[in-house]
Structure 1
Amino acid sequence: MNFFIIGGSGFIGTHLTNLLKEVFPTCIVYNLDIIENNHDGKSIYINCDVRSDIHIGVPVTSEDVIFNFAAVHRTPGHPDQAYFETNIRGAENVCAFAEKCGIKKIVFTSSIAPYGAAEDLKTEETLPTPNTPYGISKLVAEKIHTIWQAKKSNERQLTIVRPGVVFGKGENGNFTRLYWGIREGKFFYPGRKDTVKACIYVKELVRFMLYRLEHHDKGVELYNCTFEPAYTIEQIVEIMKKATGMQRTVIKIPGGILMAVAGVVGLLGGKALGICPARVKKLMISTNICGKKLADSGYEFHYTFEEAIRDWYKDNDNLYLR
């Protein structure tokens, strides 16, 4: 059994590659991506743009597994068309590749974005109501993978995961910006401290993916991937400070003031730094995602939230989070 990671050069793909070579030392990991990365010899890189038909020159068997991570995901940040072109057409081409090669197992990393922005708690049974191009494209991509599975429902296995904010070494995203914002005295609670921000440690996410591969024979599974219960932004900040030894006071500023400041900073070039009204507004809305199904699946978490932050800090020689 070998593994094809579509979009394997990125953050999650790198951590999955490390885990696969730890658990299956003799396996071959193929990294299909537009950006080269052989993970220090742990994977074989194949140039692949999922927006086009996928053709590779290596042997493939029906026992091999596809992990599909390829996506345009940062939002806001891309033209609407980019989300649809990569995420929808990419899903079609990945499933066509699996069909052509007779592959029976796919793990697809979706997002919590298909739920849409709302304060209500969302479970896997919640009706998706995406309100961004990214969320819409990911929901359509889920359906494309589901159609692939349904064509041979007695043989094919599809696991769809909807992670909250994924954090860990190499993330360079929300949690990294939060850490440096606190450390440099530039982060303020935007209007409230009780905003719920569902999240998952990257090492936990990839371990859960392998766990489901081993405990799922056929059919379609959908899992929210987040700590249960999800943490508030205040809890995240306080635990992050404790785990990294930061002595900082974080104050709350009215949302309207922050929105106005972000608008001015954005006009002056702050968008390049991720400072804009859309990002501030995003911080003020909860991602209240229920992780109970994962918690009840039999999977045993390897890290508490605080342990995860400490492990990430240790991965950076106890100097910073990055």
Structure 2
Amino acid sequence: MLVDLIGGSGFIGTRFVKRLKSRPKFDVKIIDKAPSKSFPDIASLADIRSLDQLRQCMSKNSVIVHLAAEHRDDVSELKLYEDVNVGGAKNICTVAKEKGINTIIFTSSVAVYGFAPIGIDESGAVAPFNEYGRTKYEAELVFKAWQAELPNERALIIIRPTVVFGERNRGNVFNLLRQIASGKFVMVGDGLNRKSMAYVENVAAFLEYSLDFKPGVHIYNYIDKPDFTMNTLVAHVNKLLGRPAAIKLRLPFSFGLLIGSSFDVVAKITGKKFPISAIRVKKFCANSVYESAIESTGFIPPVPLMDAIEKTVRFEFIEDHKNEQVFYSE
């Protein structure tokens, strides 16, 4: 099976390629605007905003796995979300029609639900609160229109992961773990809010699993269970690091939000970007608990969530991996 992996130089893509390279039936090619440090021999440079570049790189009759996106919280040029996430989807569909491609796997995001009610599943209301979530959903609609043109021939798999973490990632979960490891972690709010998480190896495994899905539209949230409260997660990480589980420092949510808003003002004046912002405080303190219909497909995640957290903590804060590649994301 020939797989064109768009956005394959990043965190999830690199882990996905490692899985496919160990399986002889797959022939995978990376298409990305950034070089692949792990797999330069199978990578082609292309920006999904360029129709011509995609035409040169995408293969006939391949399966498309689309991971590329504009996704950070602090992108100042808002038009980039539209150009990359929606415009890129349109370009991919255009070339897919030209190349006779009948399967597209698109990694969307639970951000399409916005600040969603606890336990929302794939049937939940779409209500994004930012341009990232809005444009991810708009991209879903673009791909649905492509599939609807030949509904008995084309397969569209839309995967909406919650926050993805794992070894070598430098996103929000890593930042939380680093704060805990430093001994300077401050809990904002009561810590009773629950968080759904997704381990990168399990996400990559489900991407592989979905390569064989039949024609139709298949939409799945991706979550690894169980959902921890922030108190439970912090206590577990402290134990892994050989520390007392108790959380020593706490701030009321209102005070944390004031601090985040203050950083927003400074960022606007200076043009600098800071790891603290009002939206990040809100996201940290919010419940983000999702349900998924993935179990109905028969898929079993290869790594239990507790094991995944332990693997990540050991890799990042106990073992020595200073010279290995890392990936920056939200």
Q: Residue 66 of structure 2: which of 65, 68, 82 is its match?
A: 68
Determine if contact 1:155/1:218 at 8 Å carries over to the other structure.
Answer: yes
Determine if contact 1:259/1:281 at 8 Å carries over to the other structure.
Answer: yes
Letter in 1 for 2:276: I
| 1: CA distance, partners of 2:37 / 2:43 | 5
Measured against aligned partners, the alpha-carbon deviations of 1:230-287 in whole angstroms (never above 9, x if no partner) come to: 2222222223333444546423310111122334455556963411222112211111
TM-score (norm. length: structure 1): 0.90
Q: Secondary structure at the match of 2:73?
A: coil
- Per the alignment, residue 231 of structure 1 pairs with 228
Determine if contact 2:58/2:95 at 8 Å carries over to the other structure.
Answer: no
Measured against aligned partners, the alpha-carbon deviations of 1:37-83 in whole angstroms (never above 9, x if no partner) come to: 15245x52211111120445468332x21110110111244432111
| 1: CA distance, partners of 2:320 / 2:162 | 22
- Per the alignment, residue 285 of structure 1 pairs with 286
Matched, 1:86 2:87: no
Residues 170 and 12 (structure 1 numbering): CA distance in 2 closer, same or farther, change over 3 Å? same
Matched, 1:206 2:204: yes
| 2: CA distance, partners of 1:196 / 1:320 | 31
Q: Secondary structure at the match of 1:121?
A: coil
Letter in 2 for 1:284: C
| 2: CA distance, partners of 1:103 / 1:317 | 43
Q: Secondary structure at the match of 1:123?
A: coil
| 1: CA distance, partners of 2:196 / 2:35 | 31
- Per the alignment, residue 30 of structure 1 pairs with 29
- Per the alignment, residue 141 of structure 2 pairs with 143
- Per the alignment, residue 250 of structure 2 pairs with 252
| 2: CA distance, partners of 1:14 / 1:171 | 11
Q: Secondary structure at the match of 2:224?
A: coil
| Bigger relative contact order (CA 8 A; separation at least 6) | 2
| 2: CA distance, partners of 1:58 / 1:304 | 37
Q: Secondary structure at the match of 2:183?
A: coil
Determine if contact 2:113/2:127 at 8 Å carries over to the other structure.
Answer: yes
Letter in 2 for 1:3: V
Measured against aligned partners, the alpha-carbon deviations of 1:291-318 in whole angstroms (never above 9, x if no partner) come to: 3x12332111212211012223454584
Q: Secondary structure at the match of 1:122?
A: coil
Determine if contact 2:187/2:250 at 8 Å carries over to the other structure.
Answer: yes
Determine if contact 1:244/1:310 at 8 Å carries over to the other structure.
Answer: no
Give the aligned CA root-mean-square deviation in angstroms. 2.4
Residues 249 and 320 (structure 1 numbering): CA distance in 2 closer, same or farther, change over 3 Å? farther
Letter in 1 for 2:70: V
Q: Secondary structure at the match of 2:302?
A: coil
- Per the alignment, residue 306 of structure 2 pairs with 306
Residues 76 and 197 (structure 1 numbering): CA distance in 2 closer, same or farther, change over 3 Å? farther
| 1: CA distance, partners of 2:320 / 2:260 | 26
Residues 17 and 78 (structure 1 numbering): CA distance in 2 closer, same or farther, change over 3 Å? farther
Measured against aligned partners, the alpha-carbon deviations of 1:75-94 in whole angstroms (never above 9, x if no partner) come to: 24443211111100011111
| 2: CA distance, partners of 1:204 / 1:100 | 32
- Per the alignment, residue 14 of structure 1 pairs with 14
Residues 197 and 115 (structure 1 numbering): CA distance in 2 closer, same or farther, change over 3 Å? same
Residues 171 and 295 (structure 1 numbering): CA distance in 2 closer, same or farther, change over 3 Å? same
Q: Residue 48 of structure 1: which of 36, 46, 49 is its match?
A: 46
Determine if contact 2:31/2:57 at 8 Å carries over to the other structure.
Answer: no
- Per the alignment, residue 184 of structure 1 pairs with 182
Letter in 1 for 2:239: K
Letter in 2 for 1:11: F
Letter in 2 for 1:307: D
Unaligned runs of 5+ in 1: none
Residues 147 and 266 (structure 1 numbering): CA distance in 2 closer, same or farther, change over 3 Å? closer
- Per the alignment, residue 215 of structure 2 pairs with 218
Residues 128 and 82 (structure 1 numbering): CA distance in 2 closer, same or farther, change over 3 Å? same
- Per the alignment, residue 237 of structure 2 pairs with 240
Question: Aligned pair count?
Answer: 317
Determine if contact 1:243/1:309 at 8 Å carries over to the other structure.
Answer: no
Residues 315 and 61 (structure 1 numbering): CA distance in 2 closer, same or farther, change over 3 Å? farther
Letter in 1 for 2:168: G
Determine if contact 1:119/1:285 at 8 Å carries over to the other structure.
Answer: no
> In the TM superposition, what is the alpha-carbon distance from 1:226 to its structure 2 partner?
0.3
Letter in 1 for 2:6: I
| 1: CA distance, partners of 2:216 / 2:97 | 16
TM-score (norm. length: structure 2): 0.88
Unaligned runs of 5+ in 2: none
Letter in 2 for 1:222: I
